[in-house]
Amino acid sequence: MLENVDKKTVADFGDEWHRFDQAELSRVELAALFDQFFHVFPWSNISADSVGFDLGCGSGRWARCMAPKVRTLHCIDPSEAALGVARRNLREFPQCQFHLASVDSMPIPDGSMDFGYALGVLHHIPDTAAGLASCVRKLKAGAPFLLYIYYAFDNRPGWYRTIWRASDCVRRTVIHLPFSIKNAFSVIIAALIYYPLARFSLLAEALGWSVECIPLSWYRRRSFYTMKTDSRDRFGTHLEQRFTATQIRGMMERAGLENIQFSDKTPYWCAVGYKRNE
């Protein structure tokens, strides 16, 4: 059976987290980002005795916020370079256990986890639906799973999707460049596009305007460091897939999740579901 992993994308993220190891990300901004992504997570379902997993842990930025809340957090990533960064960033948290593994080879027993999450991960593998099903198999019945998958701009107007298609043409060229050039390009894009649009959105919001449809308005309160990181993520990874909310719900249901709830806030689409009793 073929491994459900794209090796070029794994190498891309290994380089990204090596260069953007989140050391410059302030605790205040990290907490704000965590709250946005975990907006719909059911905190009442876990406790200090809970055991869960962070699939595609990368630099360990989400684990920094989750680990203090639980007994054990399994941090899983297929990139040895990324896992090295996570080990360094999470050295103060003995509850973190690290596993070099892909989504279909996670070394944790099926039906054993109190919770799990995969944020910005499963759209970067060949078979997203199969990857999600692999995650759900690790959960106990009734356990929550938090998912963030790149959305297909299905809640945006046509002109917005046209802008994305143009940017994707650029991405498909940039991904073939050497790491050093990709990183330099990402910083330039962050400086010339992300930052101006984000700060314009902040000003517009202060004037009482709606900023929901301004591209990159989500970054209006984010640091330039976060913009550089996400620009590298967006333009520097080989495999990227996008899904509508309907498609995501369908994948979650087929994977064995129920009582699915989508966040009504950016970033889209964050959703949580609970493993069905079998």
Q: Is there a domain that residue 160 lies in?
A: no
Q: What is the pLDDT of residue 3?
A: 87
Q: pLDDT tens, 19-31? A: 999 999 999 999 9
On whether both 146 and 268 belong to a single domain, the answer is yes
Phi, psi (5° rounding) for residue 209?
A: -85, 155
On whether both 138 and 229 belong to a single domain, the answer is no
In angstroms, the CA 250 to CA 244 distance is 10
On whether both 226 and 258 belong to a single domain, the answer is no
pTM greater than 0.85: yes
With a cut of 80, say whether residue 39 has pLDDT above it.
yes
Q: What is the pLDDT of residue 1?
A: 54
In angstroms, the CA 159 to CA 169 distance is 16
Give kind and range of the element (H or E) at residue 72. strand 72-77
In angstroms, the CA 223 to CA 135 distance is 32
On whether both 92 and 190 belong to a single domain, the answer is no
With a cut of 80, say whether residue 146 has pLDDT above it.
yes
For residue 137, the enclosing domain spans: 7-152+241-275
In angstroms, the CA 221 to CA 202 distance is 7
Q: pLDDT tens, 209-268? A: 999 999 999 999 999 999 999 999 999 999 999 999 999 999 999 999 999 999 999 999
CATH code for the domain in which residue 101 is found: 3.40.50.150
Q: What is the pLDDT of residue 278?
A: 76
Q: pLDDT tens, 62-89? A: 999 999 999 999 999 999 999 999 999 9
On whether both 96 and 139 belong to a single domain, the answer is yes
Q: Is there a domain that residue 157 lies in?
A: no
In this structure, are strands 51-55 and 270-275 parallel, antiparallel, or unpaired?
unpaired
Nearest to 76 by CA among 47, 45, 40, 113: 113
Share of the chain above pLDDT 90, in %: 98
On whether both 118 and 142 belong to a single domain, the answer is yes
- H helices of 154-223, in order, are 158-174, 179-189, 195-206
Phi, psi (5° rounding) for residue 259?
A: 50, 50
Q: What is the pLDDT of residue 224?
A: 98
On whether both 213 and 249 belong to a single domain, the answer is no
